[in-house]
Structure 1
Amino acid sequence: MRPSVVLFLIAVSTGLAGNWCIPMKTLVFPTQTSTSYVEMIPQKPLNLTAFTLCMRVATELSGKREVILFAYRTTNNDELNVWRELDGRLSFYLAGDGVLFKVPELGALQTHLCVTWDSSSGLAALFMDGKRSLSKIYRKGHTVSPGGRVILGQDADSYLGGFDDQQSFVGEIYDVNMWDTVLSDRRIKCLFAGNREPRGNVFDWNTTELRINGNAEVAIRER
């Protein structure tokens, strides 16, 4: 192997290792409840014709139960919701019927999860631990509307209320990042591996303001 290639690989490995030594805040939802949630304050309005949304998630919830993973609601609509369905499939919904993916079920071991969507083509995909699903065509020409609120831990049936404990999240969520573009497969694999670039321009987990409600806990741990 040429020396320049060796040096490049060493630099990449060192950079990734360094990222994994940085303390990371994580959200723990310890119990099923209709009162605990965390609101995320976006860095820019969610006026989206494309996006990549990533998070790390672990849950021991199983059986015939829906689990909300991410909820963005305006006054009138659930603009963007990410779910684990009753049958274990993962899905996301854009102000209407959703697109669903049959993938390995979430469990107690941390999973890096990303969903991508582009309005111009309608292409939607899901990534688990850097592995990409098949593509599906979904809501071509649609736009995600701004002016809503993003919460973790609950599904809001009204602007910020109407919570159902049977849909609440129990477990751990962190490293929630969002971009207003579709990231390449290569970049998503690098994010799964621990690279912190590119930083989310809608939500950047390192800097995004979190508003804690109920018994949700923020913990800091070494990665």
Structure 2
Amino acid sequence: MLISMGLTDKVLIFPYETDFSYVALIPKKEMALRAFTLCMRVATELPEERQIILFAYRTADYDELNVWREKDGRISFYMSGDGTFFHLPPLTTFRTSLCLTWESRNGLAAFWVDGKRSTYQVYKPGHSIRPKGTILLGQDPDKHLGGLEAVQSFVGEVTDLNMWDFVLSRSMIQAWHYRHKVAKGNIFDWATIEYELNGNVMVVDDD
């Protein structure tokens, strides 16, 4: 597969439901994480009662970090087992800027929607995310790169995905939302991101 680099001013479009279209992301550093901030801008027209995978990171035996929209519309994330669920404004055809923060030290987890923070939840204090896995957009690998299901696939647009190995401050998350300059993601930086397209995924100008 061809590895490409950099998606400045570009959008990934997943045009329809498949069990074979995804984008594999190659992190700038190993995903051995005790804290993170993951941000992306996302839009979808999929109906609320359908599960959608928003981000999937899997090692051989575990879903290390999966972010979902659940069938009841809640947004959730899972690290090696049971997840935690948040009631957030719905994802729609209009772009939402969505960030997720978590740190192992105290287990504090929150989603940020268009620069506004959800209530904190305490989730898996003391946990750490393991390295050497596979990171996908568009599909949930139920085993290490396999077991893809169309009914969980992402359909819509993703852009501006960035990830840091620490929790960004409120002011930095808001600056990112408003497209002001912030520290480049040290795990993923959309401007220099390494990625591999599989199946029917389009890269188009973000006009």
TM range (shorter): over 0.9
Cα RMSD between the aligned structures? Answer: 1.1
CA distance in 2, matches of 1:98, 1:196: 32
**Which residue identity lines up with residue 56 of structure 1 in the other structure?**
R
Gapped runs of 5+ residues in structure 1?
Answer: 1-21
2:193 matched to 1:211? no
Structure-2 residue corresponding to 1:73 = 58
What's the offset of the Cα at 1:198? 1.0
Match of residue 84, structure 2, among 99, 102, 116: 99
What's the offset of the Cα at 1:147? 0.4
Secondary structure of the equivalent of 2:128?
A: coil
CA contact (8 A) 2:8 2:190 kept: no
Structure-2 residue corresponding to 1:85 = 70
Per-residue deviation, residues 55-81 of structure 1 (Å, max 9, x unmatched): 000000013210000000000100000
Per-residue deviation, residues 156-201 of structure 1 (Å, max 9, x unmatched): 0011110000000000001110000000011100000002311100
CA distance in 2, matches of 1:146, 1:63: 32
Match of residue 166, structure 2, among 172, 176, 181: 181
Match of residue 119, structure 2, among 134, 159, 168: 134
CA contact (8 A) 2:23 2:195 kept: yes
Match of residue 104, structure 2, among 75, 99, 119: 119
CA contact (8 A) 2:8 2:191 kept: no
Q: Higher Cα Rg: structure 1 or 2?
A: 1
Q: Against the structure 1 CA distance between its residues 54 and 23, is the aligned structure 2 distance closer, same or farther, given a 3 Å change threshold?
A: closer
Structure 1: 4+ residue segments shifted above 3 A: none
**Which residue identity lines up with residue 164 of structure 1 in the other structure?**
E
Match of residue 183, structure 2, among 175, 198, 201: 198
More helix by share: 1
Matched residue count:
201
Secondary structure of the equivalent of 1:76?
A: coil
CA distance in 1, matches of 2:188, 2:134: 13
CA distance in 1, matches of 2:17, 2:72: 19
What's the offset of the Cα at 1:23? 5.4
The alignment's TM-score, normalised by the length of structure 2, stands at 0.95
**Which residue identity lines up with residue 169 of structure 1 in the other structure?**
F
